[in-house]
Structure 1
Amino acid sequence: VIPLCCVNVSVVLGQKDWGVTYTKKSICALKGSTVKLSCSYTYPRGRVTTTFWFTKNDAEGNPVRLSDDPDYKRRVKYSWDKKKGHTLTIRDLRESDSATYKFRFITDQTGGKYTGDPGVTLSLTGLLVKVIPAGKRRTLTCSTTCTLTDNPTPTNIWYKNRQPVKKDSSSMYSISSEDADSYSCTVKGREDLRSPAVYKPKSSVSVSPSGEIVEGSSVTLTCSSDANPPVDKYTWYFQNKTFPNGFGQMYNISNFKSKDNGHYHCEAWNGRGSRNSTALMIILPDLSCDCSCRNHSGCSGSHPLSLWTHVVQEEGLHIHL
């Protein structure tokens, strides 16, 4: 039997007259893209009746054909020709597709079964923007976890607030540390596969308990942030001055007093820089204030109303009474 040729540089795997030649021993591809795995094979005699690719065996140790594997349903296709040999096409690649793929063929001869070991290792990667601080600048790098086999030195396209800003670019892009816009990247020719955007934290402050705060009670402030890269540092401010030891996502005031009335906000930091939240104002009224001066609808009679609290978010006014 004349071997089928499908590669320029290849590795032949097998014993004696049996063998499988894979185009590549390893492949790195983008998640969401399409990949082709090719091979040719040789055998001593007879006729080949069955060919298939697989990544795992069933409970009895028999290879499970990809075409029968529910994880690959409607995503795989087999093809064959004299020049390219046997080709497995997998589309809409998923992270779970990272595996070792092996080709197996069966002939009409007794014991005529052969699997090409060790197979082809497929690694999947997404696009990721890494942020490298450098003084007042930030260097953004469009990266992958492995070198793309079909495009080892890709041309990148950069996006600013989802709009193309730099085409036919290298993998690096420099911006100011003060830049508050979001940035993402893609590989030219695969604009549909874009990296997650990187942006400064967008934060807000919440208070617990969320209802009435009684003087002397414990009050916890929480800084909630949406950020990429994730927030790695928090700073708390009271009346625009930093809290001592106020560097966690939550800040607790164990014995809330009138002296604690005022504006609270947090500053969240990530690789892109920092951004302040809007201020939260907490007011604990004076006990000497009677019902008439509070002008509270729930107040009646001559007895002072139980302590109540204003919590005002300065932007998008929210008031809890």
Structure 2
Amino acid sequence: MALRKAGSVLVVFFWSVAVVMGQDGWSVTYTPQSICALRGSTVDLTCSYTYPSGTVTTTLWFTKWETGVEPEYLGQDPEYAGHVEYHGDKEKDCTLRIKDLRERDSSTYWFRLLTDQEGGTYTGSPGVTLSVTVFSPGLRVKVTGGHQDKTLTCSTTCTLTDNPTYIWYKNGQHLDESTSPQYKSSVSSNYIDGYSCAVKGQEDLHSPAVCVQGQDCNRVTYTKRRICVLKGSTVDISCTYVGYNRVKSSLWFSPKRSASWTNKLTPEDLTRDPGYAGRVEYTGRESETYEGPSSLRISDLREEDSAEYRFAFKTPNFEWGHSFPGTTLSVTGLQVKVTPAAEGQKTLTCSTTCTLTDNPTYIWYKNGQRLDEPTSQQHSSNNLVVLGHSADSYSCAENTTRTSPLLQCMLQRTPQCQSVPLVK
């Protein structure tokens, strides 16, 4: 089993057992063979390998396998750009990490290695089968039963194993935890109550809140569960809310700031937080309404703004709970990383610590001059291949945002370049 963190705690559930396929000293061990993971989570495809002799020259994972056609490494597939990371080595570990899982990531994945010996090519079969829950997010609450007695089921499209713990929320408050996906106790026909569920360790991937009866219960629905944006930019974090009675007041807050609250159990409005002074405003919020949109706008973003942000509201006789998970914001800078490509070439990668939201395009600069228009497919990706002997400086920018630092040394490996950072 593999447990990993990526921004927030993410847990992946597995079934089946390790599979070893090998011959004449070749083997690839997949642990496990089948994986069921929630949409939006991070999963590690864990495997190890052995080979008879020589030196490993190439390792790659792929999903498309045609007879007589050399498979394409996932890292070179635009569909997986920013979503896959090879965490293995060229000795025995071949672990692949896939981040921010999407439904289309459901597939069978194979690992392949090449050595410098004649006939030194091997692909591990039968691979790893990954199933990603098709719900967005991965969980849904189903309501069954009679008018008075209701049963709530935290539902997925593939079976989560290893007895995960389910967390239940009622009107935004933590209600109960159980290894059963069903919740029955204290569920009535009260129109005001909204229920949601999550898997422990992945609370940010909770289900949408549903009403036990009708559609008029209290609930909050966040537009996006995770957002990754650049340092110095502006972000809008949005939700819609429904109040069974008229909403008298509302606020946005961050649990990360609880140490500065007067009462650590009572969230405080971000507009009054000195750490956000002059950088926070609310949009789309109207008082004395039953429902509506609300957005938190944060400008001049800093890396320390990376946190979870939640919305709360009050009616004359009700307050939406503070424990219901909100939207997780990650703030990143841009860096240019240099890796070898074909002989005599280098690949420059415009790198971030998280995958930027909304499929950005990139602009590349050479010695301060823009290389091409952002609409060009050649230069709109986060990768650029250049001649390895060039002494030119390169930088990148996400379209409409600020540029990355310039590369300050030549691409060739001179003592001067080795003694200073590639990116300043």
Q: Same fold (TM over 0.5)?
A: yes
Instruction: Report the counterpart of residue 259 of structure 1 in structure 2.
Output: none
How do 1:209-228 residues align onto structure 2 when only pairs under 5 Å count? Answer: 225-228=419-422
- Residue of 405, 408, 418 corresponding to 1:199: 408
Matched, 1:159 2:365: yes
Measured against aligned partners, the alpha-carbon deviations of 1:52-85 in whole angstroms (never above 9, x if no partner) come to 1000322522112110111111111112268971
**SS state at 2:373 partner:** strand
Cα offset, 1:15, TM superposition:
7.2
Secondary structure class of the residue paired with 2:339: strand
Is residue 2:222 matched to residue 1:22?
yes
- 1:123 aligns with 330
Give 1:176 deviation, angstroms. 1.9
Letter in 2 for 1:180: A
* Number of aligned residue pairs: 199
After superposition, the Cα gap between the structure-2 partners of 1:12 and 1:123, relative to the gap in structure 1 and judged at 3 Å, is: same
Counterpart in the other structure of 1:133: 340
CA pair 187-102 structure 1, distance change in 2 beyond 3 A: same
Deviation at 1:180, TM superposition (A): 1.1
Distance 2:398 2:418 in 1: 33
Change (3 A) 1:179 1:224: closer
Give ranges in structure 1 of 5+ residues lacking alignment: 2-9, 205-222, 231-321
1:107-154: CA deviation from partner (whole Å, max 9, x where unpaired) = 222x5343371110011122221111133211111122222222x1x3
Contact conserved, 1:104 with 1:116, CA < 8 A, in 2? no
CA contact (8 A) 2:337 2:350 kept: yes
Checking the alignment, whether the CA contact within 8 Å between 1:51 and 1:106 is kept in structure 2 is: yes
Q: RCO greater where, 1 or 2, for CA within 8 Å and sep 6 or more?
A: 1
Does the Cα contact within 8 Å between 2:228 and 2:355 map onto a contact in 1?
yes
Aligned-residue sequence identity (percent) comes to 43
2:231 corresponding residue in structure 1: 31
TM-score, normalised via structure 1 length: 0.55
Secondary structure at 2:248 match in 1 = strand
Larger Rg: 1
Counterpart position of 1:175: 386
Gaps of 5+ in 2: 1-190, 192-205
SS, match of residue 67 in structure 1:
helix
The residue aligned with 2:134 is none
Normalised by the size of structure 2, how large is the TM-score?
0.42
Taking the aligned partners of 2:370 and 2:269, their CA distance within structure 1 comes to 42
1:44 aligns with 2:250: no
- CA RMSD in angstroms comes to 3.1
What does residue range 1-321 of structure 1 map to in structure 2 within 5 Å?
12-13=208-209, 17-45=217-245, 47-56=246-255, 57=258, 58=261, 60-61=263-264, 62-80=266-284, 85-109=293-317, 111-115=318-322, 117-134=324-341, 135-150=343-358, 152=359, 154-168=360-374, 169=379, 170-190=381-401, 193-200=402-409, 225-229=419-423
Whole-angstrom distance in 2 between the partners of 1:112 and 1:81: 17
Distance 2:296 2:423 in 1: 37
Offset from partner CA, 1:153-205 (integer Å, 9 cap, x none) = x3221111222123321322222222112110012222xx111122327988x
Q: 1:172 to 1:112 in 2, by over 3 A?
A: closer
Deviation at 1:37, TM superposition (A): 1.0
Kindly provide the amino acid, as one letter, of the partner of residue 136 in structure 1.
G
Q: Distance in 2 between matches of 1:36 and 1:182?
A: 34
Alignment-mate amino acid for residue 218 of structure 2 = W
Distance 2:296 2:323 in 1: 14
Aligned structure 1 segments of 4 or more residues deviating by more than 6 angstroms = 201-204
Distance 1:163 1:224 in 2: 25
Q: Amino acid of the residue matched to residue 74 of structure 1?
A: G
